[in-house]
Structure 1
């Protein structure tokens, strides 16, 4: 077991769990409008919406189980329970990472698959190949970490630990490769197609978020590599945090293009939005008059003042004539 006092930890267990939960909630705020508008239009739950919900559930389950893993590491725990918890956690986080990226590929198919056959084939192939690789990695870990006795030996626990580390690193490389494919796959299509402005904005967000997700995946893989070679607890927590960030960004990126439809369908026609818009419009109209009133009120002219002003104007005009 590992003591919390062995290494200085800058990020506490509670803080890391809070940040990770915040990212999951943030991504859920994008998934809900997407599901609502798609169900409203199609009268059914689309496969990419179901996968996004599934990814959120898996992420929350993985975060909860990660707390059990941390508790088992810091406290005296039976080896059998520790092996089971760590194995289950790796299954959950692996499938969560895979399912978080699938909606983006399905979004590409829905937007461009009808007119671009090669993109549809590439997207479905990526989904199938990455699923097969994730299943192979999970099977590799599971086959090595299923105890045949109620009291597994220390050699068995160490072997399981080594297999988990190898499997985690391999899945990290698969996740990074998927991010690269998601990043470059739509570029030829975007350069050749003329699409509405709001779709361009949504796809640009997907493209930029792919860069951030790729950076998070590389960072997670780096810290995971460090933690497998005698790293600190802090490195393990940073690796987990980056995994969650990578998955949440992928979920959000797949949901952003539906926000315009949600706005146009539910927000713009609402009475509350109309009242807020009219209120802001009236305030905007009053701003010029308020600026003009800052120069002070102008008193009405008397007859003498009016005649003097006219004479003054006439004198000026006569001087110019001369």
Structure 2
């Protein structure tokens, strides 16, 4: 792939990692502040996903440099092939899982959404593990030859193709899943559009996954050394997944700390309090009105922290909410 060189890979990759680190940092900061010093499972998963992305990028850089040498270091390539398949499969799961866990937290009251989210997480995880096992079986290290390395590299690439296909399906589910819930909420049209944009940025994930899958498929016809293009677009795919997962919290960060928009919303049940109903599994047995106040959703996904009360908050809770200083 002549237009993608090692300097381009390193320059773009480092830039994306810096941006991803800033996005995850802003996400965790906003959610930590909103949840009074706590992070949720999807926040921790985003940190793990970022860690996988950084390590995978570094190992891929070593792989590109190694296959670029005139004399191949076969023992090193075998070790790298085993290491990278573990990292790639982990990166795929841990960069996309936070989005689905966020859906479970915000919209988990919908039974169908819970089932689809958990099924997606489970099936994707099983496919990634199966691909990992398949690659390890085809990469024996007892006798290292060029032919065995090419067999190992082909198995690695084939696993990448299957995992890439599953990744496209997962991104499509992430894109579609929140749409019915968002448009069922009793919000102003402008707020529905804003919330949709925050979540539907997942269409970028679909595009990135499709491009990465295309170059993985092209690499199947190679000899195990044409790796820079699929590696390059895989890095972009993982970055986009992290960015999409951070989108709601980044919008909150922008409003609260950059533009300093007021937190009170017209028609909110408790102006300036940051209170809103939580659409969670704890309320699955209670009937939630379509007219329930869902305020301050744009501030942060972690601002939806309180259980949705059946008759409103208690007097002490109301007083604490009203007296609490607006951020």
Find the aligned partners of 2:214 and 2:248 in 1 and give their Cα distance. Answer: 31
What CA distance in whole angstroms lies between the structure 2 residues aligned with 1:166 and 1:260?
38
Query: Quick check: 1:211 aligned with 2:206?
Result: no
Partner residue of 1:4?
none
Contact 1:97–1:175 (Cα < 8 Å) also in 2: yes
Map of 1:313 onto structure 2: none
For structure 2, the 5+ residue unaligned runs are 262-327
Matches within 5 A, 1:248-287: 248-263=239-254, 266=257
* 2:66 equivalent in structure 1: 72
Shift in Å, 1:265: 5.2
The answer to whether the 8 A contact 2:17-2:239 is kept is yes
- How far did residue 30 of structure 1 move? 1.6
Query: Partner residue of 1:127?
Result: 121
TM-superposed CA distance for 1:159, in Å, is: 2.1
In 1: Cα distance, 2:255 partner to 2:64 partner: 45
Q: Which residue matches 1:137?
A: 131
Residue number in structure 1 paired with 2:237 = 246
What is the CA-CA distance between 1:134 and the residue it aligns to? 0.6
Equivalent-residue separation in structure 2 for 1:241 and 1:195 (angstroms): 41
Task: Confirm or deny that 1:103 pairs with 2:98.
Answer: yes
Matched, 1:179 2:171: yes
Question: If you compute each CA radius of gyration, which structure gives the higher value, 1 or 2?
Answer: 1
State how far apart, in whole Å, the 2-side matches of 1:108 and 1:37 are.
18
Measure, in 2, the Cα distance between the counterparts of 1:253 and 1:202.
Answer: 13
Q: Which runs of 5+ in 1 are unaligned?
A: 1-7, 271-322
User: Are 1:41 and 2:31 counterparts?
Assistant: no
Residue of 79, 84, 94 corresponding to 1:84: 79
When the two chains are superposed, the root-mean-square deviation of aligned CA atoms in Å is 2.4
Q: Deviations over 1:255-314 (max 9, x none)?
A: 1211344356555679xxxxxxxxxxxxxxxxxxxxxxxxxxxxxxxxxxxxxxxxxxxx
The correspondence for 1:224, drawn from 202, 208, 216, is 216
Distance 1:204 1:21 in 2: 27
> How far is the alpha carbon of 1:199 from its aligned partner?
6.8
Distance 1:169 1:132 in 2: 15
Work out the CA distance in 2 between the residues paired with 1:228 and 1:66. 17
Q: Which moved more, 1:193-202 or 1:28-37?
A: 193-202
Give the Cα separation in 2 of the matches to 1:189 and 1:124.
Answer: 17
TM-score by length of 1: 0.73
- 2 CA distance for matches of 1:269 and 1:26? 22
Determine the C-alpha separation between the residues in 2 that align with 1:243 and 1:103. 18
User: Would you say how many aligned residue pairs link Structure 1 and Structure 2?
Assistant: 258
Q: 1:170 aligns with which of 149, 155, 162?
A: 162
Instruction: Select which of 14, 19, 28 maps to 2:7.
Output: 14
- Taking structure 2 as the reference length, what is the TM-score of the superposition? 0.72
Residues 95-130 of structure 1 show CA distances to partners (whole Å, capped at 9, x for unaligned) of 11211111111111122112x111012111111111
1:286-297 to structure 2, matched below 5 A, reads none
Paired residues of 1:84 and 1:145 also in contact (CA < 8 A) = no
